Amino acid sequence: MPTLPLPARPSLVHLRHQAKDLLRDHSARAASAAQRIREFHPRYRAASDAAIAEAPFALADAQLTIAREYGFTSWPRLRAHVENPQRPDLARPQHERIDDTAFRRAVDLLDAGDAAALRDHLAAHPGVARQRVTLEGGNYFTNPALLEFIAENPTRRGTLPTSIVGVATVILDAGAAEDAEAMNSALDLVASSSVARQCGVQRALIELLCDRGADPNRAVLSPLLYGEFESVEALLRRGAKLTLTIAAATGSVSDARAVLPMADDDERQTALALAAQFGHVEIVRMLLDAGEDPNRYSPVGGHSHATPLHQAALAGHESVARLLAERGARLDIEDLHYHATPLGWARYAGRDAVAAYLESKLNA
């Protein structure tokens, strides 16, 4: 789920009211509240709606959820940011918000593609290759290691140097390969990076990271969500397991049918969202026949602010939208980020046929 941007002049009073509203919605057992809590409160990451509704949930829990919804690790850190008259501009590119001079210099050399100078710099500052920096205001890339900057994901400059594979090798040789979490995160970021693909370095970086021990199974979901199917093919060649989510996103009906019995609840739910997003109506039908609920928000880690019908409407897949509606998908559910219905998403994206169908259903 995307994090929320703070307004230019954030109000702590307003943020406190948001926390109280969330507390109220939790008491009312609202599905939207459960989804937000599951996404942003670390204690409830794997909890069901029912478990969240039954769990004790205090004002401090609501404040933590709100803080993380805005990309801050805690309520005190959000409060300190709001109360700081010299607060950093969270809209600035991530590398411009790095305070550590040695780490910032390493990122600048990475961006310049200067592998030789970066090797010398890391030799002079041996801790930098394994160091992490804190970058608040987002829902990912909030505590990155240097290696994770090789993906240009999130986009900072819009390009990568042609020597980025050599630059990445320097960072790995300086000690980054010892950090499995950074390795797997870097692979995930590379595999889902449109900039890496457009610059012609995505596959080479995937090969390098897998050669050095990154797990291809940990990097499959993100490229599926953003349609980076060449990356998915590369990850499968490097040993990633064929899953229901892969079959659903790529439209392989036979593979989906074969692996469906082995898929757990979250995977089936994610598969339904992906099949709707990419317009694979037969797989949507298969999952609905298997008992999937079209009105659930997508699981944490995906487009979890929306339902499958939102995804179908945004992409203009009229046949999928019709099938979902015929099978019980509600047209009045609002997404958790923009607070719009599937009809609103269709209108925003200019999907006139889908919008006309949904409007006719609402007016019937």
pLDDT tens, 11-34? 999 999 999 999 999 999 999 999
CA 305, distance to chain mean position in Å, is 11
**Residue 153's pLDDT is what?**
96
pTM of the predicted structure, to 2 decimals? 0.92
Whole-number Å distance between alpha carbons of 71 and 66: 9
Taking the CB of residue 168, how many other CB atoms lie within 10 A of it?
A: 26
The answer to whether residues 63 and 76 touch, using CB atoms and an 8 Å cutoff, is no
Look up residue 201 and give its two tokens: 């370095």
**Residue 139's pLDDT is what?**
79
**Residue 138's pLDDT is what?**
82
Look up residue 203 and give its two tokens: 């596959």
pLDDT tens, 171-224? 999 999 999 999 999 999 999 999 999 999 999 999 999 999 999 999 999 999
pLDDT tens, 329-359? 999 999 999 999 999 999 999 999 999 999 9
CA 47, distance to chain mean position in Å, is 19
Mean pLDDT of the chain: 96
pLDDT of 252 over the 90 cut: yes
